Structure 1
Amino acid sequence: MADTYSSYTDLAAHEVEGVAYERRRVLGPGSKWASIAIHGGGIEPGSGEVARAVGAGLMNHYEFAGILPSDNTRLHVTSTHFDEPIAEGIVAASTRTLSFHGYVGDGTPTTALGGLDTPLVEAIRAALTAAGFKVITAPQEVAGSDPANIANRNAIGAGVQLEMSRALRESFFPNGDTSRAMRDSGRRTDAFWWYVETIREAMLGYTQFPGQGSSDGCATEYAARIVDRSGAVVTDATYLVEVEWNRILNDTSTGRVVINPDGDCCEKVGQIRSWRHQLHIYRNGVFVWGGPILSIEWTQGQVEVFAADISAWLSRRVPHAKKTFTDTDLSQIAQWLIDDGFAPDDPGHEVQIMGEAGVTGGREYRESIGQTLDHLQDLADTGLDFTVVGAKFVILPEGWSEPVGSLTDADLPDGLTVTEDGAALGTKWIVVGGQDGDLVGVDGGPDAYYGLLERYVEQSSIQTQDSATAAAKAKRRSSLPVPVFIDTQQVTLNPDANVDIPTLTPGWCLDVASVSTCRDISQRLKIVGLKVVEGGSGGSGQEQVQVQVAALGGEQ
C-alpha cells in the first residue's frame, strides 16, 4: 500500500506532533552506535519497544512513534524517504546502526535480516539462530539494500535492518497483546528479553568496547567511559588504578574510579564536570554500571571520579503534575513516578516491570511537593522492590524469588556474617495517611513469640483507607519474623563461585547453604546489596566481590 506522505517533511506539514506522533530520543553511553525504530508506536507495534531495550545503556536510540487511537499506518514513511532531522543526526554520527521494523509475515515468529552492513548482519543472524529464533534473509522489498535507507546513512554507509514478523512481535507481549496500553505498561515476555539480550550480546561480541582484549593488570577486567549528557563520548579510560561499583535494593548505588591519565586523556579528564557528565564502567567489555558524576578530584598523576546511578536524578526531581491513583497496583504508580520525574529533562531511562506488586492502593501526588525518589522509596516500603541497572529501573514484586546462582561455604573461604536485625522488627504496624492524617491503617498485635512491638509511620501520599491498611500489612510482612541478613562484608567470593557477577542484581535470589557459623543457613535468599572492588591501597589487584542477602519475608 502506498504511503500517505512522501517524507517526514510532508507528514509534519499535515499532522500535529503530540497528537498524531511523537519523536523520542534516548542518548546512550556514546554516539557511535544507534538503535532506531522509525515506524514505532502503533505504526509497527513492538518495533519501538525492541529498539529502545536493545539500545538501553549501550547505544543512542531514536523512535518515531504513532500515537493515534487508530489508523497509525497512515504515518508510515518509507525508510528511503525518512528525513526527520533528529534521526538523521543520530544515524549520521553512528558507525553501527540497527533499524527495527515490523512486517506481517507468514504467521510464524521470524526475523528477516537485511541492510548493507553484511558482517554485522551475519553476526546477528548467527546469534539469533543459536538462541533458537527463526531468521531468514529479507526479501527484496524489505531488504534494506538501498544506500538511501535511513539504516545505511551512517558514517560507514552501511547498517542492519531487522524486520520482525507480526507473530514474533506478538510473542513479546503477554497474551500477544500489542495494544498501546500493554506496550506502555512495561510488561514483556521472557521471549522479548531473550531476543533483546541476544542482539545486545552479538553487538558487544562484534565490536570491541572499552576494556575488551586486555591481558593484564587492573585494565584486564575494567575500563571506564566518560559521557556527555548529549551522548558524546568525552574520553575512554582504559588504565584504572581503582574501580568500585555497587548495586543496592530500593536505594541509589554508586560507582568510583581512579584514573591514571596521560596524553590526550589527561586533557579530556580535566574537562569532566559534575552532573553534566556520566561515568560508565565496563567489565570484560560489558557495561555493568553507569550514572551521573557527582564529584571529581584531580591530583598529580591521578583523577578520582565518584558517581551515583540514575536514580540520583530523581533525588533532584519533584512531581511535575498533580496525580491521583485509586485502586492501582503499586508497580504502575512507581512507573508513573519515574517517568514523570524524568519527563522535563530525560537523560535516557527505561522502566522494566518484572511483575505486578499484587498490592493496590490509592495515592495522591501534588505538583512540586516532595522529592520523587522519596515518593518511590515510600512505595518500596509498602509492597514492591526496585533496583537500577545502567539506564534501567527494574520494578519487582516484594516476593520475587527468581534465582541467579548458588553459594556454599566453599564459595566463601573466609566465612560470612549472619545478622539478625531486631531493630527492624514490628509485630504491629500503624500507617497514617492523608493530608490531615485521618487515614489510619493497622495490622498485627501481640505476637506469641516476640510479644508486642508497635511501629508507627506517616505517608501523606496515601489517599484511601484500604491503601493505609495494605501498607500496614506490607510493613508487618517485611519485618516479622526478625529480618535476617547474610553479609560477606570484607570477604570476597571465590572466583570459581557458581555465580556470574554482572547478573548479581538486587531483588533476585541466591540459593545459599552455610554451616560455618552457629546459625546454619540453607535456603533461597534475596540479594539486597552487591559491592565490587578492584585495585586500591593494600589490595591484591584481584577483583573482590561482596554480596549481601536477606531472607524472603524474614526468617526465624
Structure 2
Amino acid sequence: MAQLGCAQEYRAIIHWRGGSLPFTSPSGSSLTSVRWTRTINDLSEATITIAKGAAGADCCGKLGQIEPYVHELTIYRDSELVWQGPVLRVTEKRTAFIVEARDVVEWLGRTNNTTLLRYVSTNPADQMHQGPIQEIAETIIRLNLEGGLFASSPDWPRMLDYIARQDDPTVSRFEKDGSADTNVWIVPILQILDDELVPRGLEYTTVGRALLLGRPQTVSDPAQARLGLDSFTGDIEIVRDGAAAASLVWVTNQNDQEIANTQYGVSGVVSAAYGRLDTLIRTQAEGLTAYDLWQIARGTYPGRNPVPTSLRVPDGARLAVTAPVTMRQLVAGVRIDVAAPEMCMAVTQPYRLSDVEVEWSDTGEDVGISLVPIGYPFTSPPP
C-alpha cells in the first residue's frame, strides 16, 4: 500500500519565467527551510530560506539577481516536482536570503481581461458558446493569453499547455451585463473566475505547473484515499455545524431599497427532517438573469444538506508518515474518505481536500491537511 512517507530531501530551483530554463539552484546544505501549500479556489504560496554562509559567493551573486515575475520558484520533494510559480518577493538579511512565490494562478491575477464575455451561443462552432463552466473558464484564459495587442508574446506565462479540465455535465450560459452590452469587462482574469464562475460551480487549483479546472466532487466520484485516525498525529476535531446547513438555497438581486423588477433562483430539496432551513444570498452584480441566479444557487447547495460534519486538523496535528496516501494524491479538491468508528460521532464519510500545508526543515517534514464534507448534488431544472 502506498504511503505518504517522509521526504529525504527538498530541492529548490529558480527558473526563468515559464518554468523550464534554470537560472540558479541553492545547494542542499544551504537550503534551511521550505514551506509550500496547495489550496482550492485561491492562490497557493511557497517560501524558501537559504543560509548565505553555506551558499557561497557565486550562488549569493545569483540570488541577488532574482527578479519578481522574471523568475519562478520550483520545489522538488525528493525527485517529485510539487510546486512551481512566479517569484513575488525576495528579502535579504545578514545571514539569510528568503524567496517568496505564488503559484501560476498569480499570472491570471496580474492579467486584465480584454475579451467580451458573452457565452450565450448554442452553436459549438462559435468561439464563445454555452458549455460546461470549466470549458468557459479555459476559453476565457486562452483568449486572453494567446496574444493580442497587449501581449509581449503568445502565452507569455507558459500556462496554456498545462491546463486540465474535469467538466460538469451541466451546460452553462454566461454573459456579463446582458446581451445588449458590447463592452469589455476590464478586471483581472482571476476576478472573473472568483466572482462569476466559482459561484456557478467552477473549482480551480494547481499542482506543480498544471492548472486544474474542475468541479466540486460528489459522493459518486471515486476516493483518492481512505484514512483512519491512525493516519493523523496529534488530536483531531469532528464538528457537526448547523450554521452552514440549508435545505434550500436562495439567491436574489433584491436589496432593501429595491425589490421591483428583480429576480431570484433557488436550489435544494424540501426536507422533512429539517423543515424549512433556508439560506439567502444577495448579489448586487448587474445583468444577472433568473438562470444566472439559479446557477449560483445550484453551485452553492452541495455540502449543506445534510448538516455538514467536518473533520478539522488543529495546529500541531499532521498526517502520519504511514498515512495511506501519496503526495501526488494530495490535490486540493479531490475526495478523501475518513473512517473514525471509534469516535462518538462514528464518522465514516467522504470529504473534500481543501488545503495542504507542508513545512520542511532540519527537524523533518510536517504535512497538514484540511478536509470539508462532500455534499450531495442536487440538479433541478433551470427556470
Judge same fold: TM > 0.5, yes or no: yes
Tell me which residue corresponds to 2:201: 383
Identity of aligned residues (%): 25
Kindly indicate whether residue 279 of structure 2 is the aligned counterpart of residue 454 of structure 1: yes
CA distance in 1, matches of 2:39, 2:287: 25
Please say if residues 532 and 546 of structure 1, whose CA atoms lie closer than 8 Å, have aligned partners that are also in contact: yes
User: Matches of 2:328 and 2:188 in 1, distance apart?
Assistant: 30
Aligned partner of 1:227: which letter?
H
Q: What is the CA–CA distance in structure 2 between the aligned matches of 1:520 and 1:499, rounded to whole Å?
A: 22
| Structure 2 counterparts to residues 127-206 of structure 1, below 5 A | none
Task: Say which SS state the counterpart of residue 370 (structure 2) adopts.
Answer: strand
Residue aligning to 1:440: 264
Q: CA deviation at 1:516?
A: 5.6
Within 2, Cα distance between the matches of 1:337 and 1:466?
A: 20
Is the counterpart of residue 328 in structure 1 residue 131 in structure 2? yes
Shift of 1:530: 0.8
In structure 1, distance between residues paired with 2:114 and 2:100 = 29
C-alpha deviations, 1:392-439, integer Å up to 9, x for none?
Answer: 1112232353322221111113231223454433444333479x9844
Q: Are residues 498 and 477 of structure 1, via their aligned partners in 2, closer, same or farther at CA, if it must alter by over 3 Å?
A: closer
Structure 1's 439 and 337: CA in aligned 2 closer, same or farther, altered over 3 A?
A: farther
Q: 2:352 aligns with which of 517, 521, 526?
A: 526
Q: Give the superposition deviation at 1:317.
A: 2.2
Q: Which amino acid aligns with 1:510?
A: I
Offset, 1:347: 1.0
1:271 counterpart (58, 65, 72): 65
Partner of 1:465: 290
- Cross-structure match for 2:44: 253
Q: Is the 8 A contact 1:483 1:554 kept in 2?
A: no
| Deviation string, structure 1 residues 49-99 (Cα, Å, up to 9, x no partner) | xxxxxxxxxxxxxxxxxxxxxxxxxxxxxxxxxxxxxxxxxxxxxxxxxxx
Matched, 1:512 2:338: yes
Q: Which residue of 1 aligns with 2:125?
A: none
Q: Distance in 1 between matches of 2:47 and 2:261?
A: 42
Q: Which runs of 5+ in 2 are unaligned?
A: 1-5, 121-129, 177-182, 255-259, 378-383
SS at match of 1:321: coil
Q: Return closer, same or farther for 1:270/1:524 CA change in 2, 3 Å cut-off.
A: same
Q: Aligned-pair distance for 1:291?
A: 0.7
Residue 496 in structure 1 maps to residue 308 in structure 2: no
Residue deviations 1:488-544 (CA, integer Å, cap 9, x gap): 232121112111113210122222112464322212322111111112xxxx71111
1:200-242 Cα distance to aligned partner (Å, 9 max, x none): xxxxxxxxxxxxxxxxx98x42010111226532211233111
CA displacement at 1:288 relative to structure 2:
0.6
Q: What secondary structure sits across from 1:237 in the alignment?
A: coil
Unaligned runs of 5+ residues in structure 1 are 1-216
Paired residue secondary structure (2:319) = coil
Is 2:368 the partner of 1:546? yes
- Provide closer, same or farther for how the CA distance between residues 545 and 516 of structure 1 changes in structure 2, counting only shifts above 3 A: farther
The residue type paired with residue 494 of structure 1 is A
Q: How does 1:345-424 map to 2 (within 5 A)?
A: 345-349=155-159, 350-354=162-166, 356-365=167-176, 367-377=184-194, 378-399=196-217, 401-424=221-244
Q: Is the 8 A contact 1:359 1:383 kept in 2?
A: no
Letter in 2 for 1:395: L
Query: In angstroms, what is the RMSD of aligned CA positions?
Result: 2.9
Q: Is the 8 A contact 2:115 2:144 kept in 1?
A: no
Q: Larger deviation: 312-321 or 368-377?
A: 368-377
CA distance in 2 between counterparts of 1:375 and 1:323 reads: 10
* Alignment match, 1:226: 14
Q: Residue 179 of structure 2 corresponds to which residue in structure 1?
A: none
Alignment equivalent of 1:284, drawn from 78, 93, 110: 78
TM-score with structure 1 setting the length: 0.55
Q: Deviations over 1:104-145 (max 9, x none)?
A: xxxxxxxxxxxxxxxxxxxxxxxxxxxxxxxxxxxxxxxxxx
Change (3 A) 1:437 1:424: farther
Match of 1:32 in 2: none
Counterpart residue identity of residue 348, structure 1? R
Distance of 1:437 and 1:418 partners within structure 2: 44
Change (3 A) 1:516 1:533: farther
Quote the residue 2:110 is aligned against: 316
Structure 1 residues 494 and 450, CA, compared in 2 at 3 Å: closer, same or farther? farther
Number of matched pairs: 332
Aligned with residue 243 of structure 1, among 4, 29, 34:
34
SS of equivalent residue, structure 1 residue 339 = helix
- As a proportion of its length, which structure holds more helix? 1
Of residues 491-500 and 512-521 in structure 1, the stretch that sits farther from structure 2 once superposed is 512-521
2:249 to 429, 453, 463: 429
Q: Retained in 1: the 8 A contact 2:331–2:353?
A: yes
Cα separation, partners in 2 of 1:313 and 1:443, compared to 1, 3 Å: same
Relative to 1, partners in 2 of residues 1:302 and 1:429: Cα closer, same or farther, differing over 3 Å? same
Kindly indicate whether the alpha-carbon contact (under 8 Å) linking 2:335 and 2:352 is maintained by their aligned counterparts in 1. yes
Q: Tell me if the contact between 2:245 and 2:277 (Cα under 8 Å) persists in the aligned partners.
A: no
CA 1:431–1:341: 2 relative to 1, 3 Å: farther
Distance 1:453 1:295, change over 3 A: same
**Whole-angstrom CA distance in 2 between matches of 1:462 and 1:221:** 53
Partner of 1:25: none
My pick for the range that moved more, 315-324 or 304-313, is: 315-324
Describe the shift of the 1:422–1:382 C-alpha distance in structure 2 as closer, same or farther (beyond 3 A). Answer: farther
- Separation in 2, partners of 1:405, 1:476: 25
Partners of 2:268 and 2:336 in 1: how far apart? 30
The letter of the residue matching 1:332 is E
Aligned equivalents of 1:474, 1:267: Cα separation in 2: 50
Separation (CA, whole Å) in 2 of partners of 1:390 and 1:364: 31
Distance in 2 separating the partners of 1:485 and 1:518:
14
Greater C-alpha Rg: 1
Name the aligned partner's letter for residue 217 of structure 2.
Answer: G
Alignment equivalent of 2:305, drawn from 472, 475, 480:
480
Higher relative contact order (CA 8 A, sep 6+): 2
Q: Secondary structure at the match of 2:25?
A: strand
Distance in structure 2 (CA, Å) of the matches to 1:457 and 1:396: 25
SS of the equivalent of 1:337 reads helix
